[in-house]
Structure 1
Amino acid sequence: MTSDADAVEETQVAGLGEAVDALRGARRVLVLSGAGMSAESGVPTFRDAQTGLWEQVDPTDLATPEAWEQDPPYVWAWYAWRIGRLRAVQPNAGHRALAELAAYREVSIATQNVDDLHERAGSTVLAHVHGSLTDLRCSDCATPHVGPVEVPEDPVERLEPPSCGECGGDVRPGVVWFGEMLPARALAETTAAIEALTEGDVVLVVGTSGVVYPAAGFPAMARAEGATVIEVNPTETEVSDVCDLRLRGTAAQVLPRLVAAITG
């Protein structure tokens, strides 16, 4: 008798074969990654970061320009704690596989994640669609903040943000808050990468739920350009129906096997 686990494994192997064939014929590979890409590294999702001191706080009450304007030390304390948690984790096998793939194919990565794990694995990221947690800048003059940032080992309720070296304003995280526009450059570069796809190129949609726009519309745009769209996700998502192939597994499980078949 075949167990559920065996059935999933067989499905993955069959799907991997088709995906390998697609990748072997591709010149360009565009990766669209979401929260599932970093889950196995231990990076908490936006709402999963509400633990301990922050357990009773709605994250949407923290991630707004209004919250920052009202109480910067309160908002910064939460983000500083998140930066500290990010420093404590490492890229997983999925991140490393994509970095390895770039030695064999032209790889572009557009991510919804605000972490820097793609970069730490060795990849060059084309676009952080929702900004980057560690891309700090002045909230007044927008000057990028360089240099070390002290973060608490344990969460604290209030923490003074760093000061801008140019104007003395408060330094904020580089994420996109509710009510803010997405980075125009990131959207433009992602759109350009999609429009540059041709017949036979491959798009890997990794670990994204497909519910947040405009990123949720990228797979359909890529398919319209003639690319083969491959989803890597343990479960069905809102974009599964527009994907040509669906590999049911996590990024760290599937991507190393996929890349090994290309590079081995």
Structure 2
Amino acid sequence: MSQHEKKHIVVLTGAGMSAESGVKTFRDHDGLWEGHDVMQVASPEGFRKNPELVLDFYNQRRRQLKEVEPNQAHRDLAALEKDYKVTIITQNVDDLHERAGSTDVVHLHGELLKIRSTGNPNDIKTWTEDINLGDLCNEGYQLRPHIVWFGEDVPMIETAVKICYASDILIIIGTSMQMYPAASLINYVQPDTVIYYIDPRPAISNDGNVNVIAKSATEGMKDLLTILKTDMI
């Protein structure tokens, strides 16, 4: 089968995708992330009030990322590229999809291994070490994590909408479907698009084209691979 004939799978991934790799995340029910109120460490207001706390918080997340590896679900998604055109739209800021071998990844909420200027949002660079107060861009502005904080625009959402609209199959993994605008992307697929939702505590139920697999990312992907293989025969 040639590339242009391959079905287009679009995958939306959230915190549950990386949890099995040991990436710690916050859940909406307590609003805490590594013991911090998320608004202290993931909002423009928090950064203005205590930039050192915010920089240190993300420095720790960046160090932690170097100690974890992609899990089997990441690798299974990457392997789908053999038979499908695959685009991953992730809410996660880690690089585990890329490290697993996925070649087309859209990060809705930014990337932990990038920085940007506080004075120029388009001045973005790869950055793998700590960011300290006093680290400046070439124009003299403080550097900050390239993360979309609460209250900030999500620049990639329009790109993600177009990708979802062009999908043949939509796979949703490890997301509560409560974080907007990402949660709205399910509404932008064509009516006949088949949807698979993998989550141990699914927020939506089987309905029409929606097929729920109430399992973790790794276990759910095993089931889904079997389904997709059957459909291809």
Q: What is residue 133 of structure 2 aligned with on the other side?
A: 160
What CA distance in whole angstroms lies between the structure 2 residues aligned with 1:63 and 1:189?
23
Contact 1:162–1:170 (CA under 8 A) maintained in structure 2: yes
**Structure 1 spans left out of the alignment, 5+ residues:** 1-24, 152-158
Q: What is residue 179 of structure 1 aligned with on the other side?
A: 151
**Counterpart residue identity of residue 160, structure 1:** L
Equivalent pairs counted in the alignment come to: 221
Q: Which has the higher helix share?
A: 1
Name the stretch that deviates more: 188-197 or 91-100: 188-197
Relative contact order higher in (CA < 8 Å, ≥ 6 apart): 1
1:141 is displaced (CA, Å) by 2.4
CA RMSD of aligned residues (A): 2.5
**Structure 2 spans left out of the alignment, 5+ residues:** none
Q: What is residue 189 of structure 1 aligned with on the other side?
A: 159
1:202 maps to which of 169, 173, 185: 169
What CA distance in whole angstroms lies between the structure 1 residues aligned with 2:54 and 2:212?
39
Deviations 1:70-99 (A, max 9, x none): 332221011111111111111100000000
Q: What is residue 111 of structure 2 aligned with on the other side?
A: 132
**Counterpart residue identity of residue 70, structure 1:** K
Contact 1:133–1:174 (CA under 8 A) maintained in structure 2: yes
Q: What is residue 30 of structure 1 aligned with on the other side?
A: 10
Deviations 1:55-83 (A, max 9, x none): 3x322122221222333222101111111
Q: What is residue 247 of structure 1 aligned with on the other side?
A: 213
DSSP-derived class of the 1:181 partner: coil
Q: What is residue 39 of structure 1 aligned with on the other side?
A: 19
Q: What is residue 145 of structure 1 aligned with on the other side?
A: 125
**Structure number, greater radius of gyration:** 1
Q: Which has the higher strand share?
A: 2
Alignment of 1:101-112 (within 5 A): 101-112=80-91
Structure 1 residues 243 and 207: CA distance shift in structure 2, 3 A: farther
Normalised to the residue count of structure 1, the TM-score between the two structures is 0.75
Structure 1 residues 147 and 193: CA distance shift in structure 2, 3 A: closer
What CA distance in whole angstroms lies between the structure 2 residues aligned with 1:111 and 1:119?
11
Q: What is residue 115 of structure 1 aligned with on the other side?
A: 94
Percent identity, please. 34
What CA distance in whole angstroms lies between the structure 2 residues aligned with 1:83 and 1:225?
40
1:250 is displaced (CA, Å) by 1.0
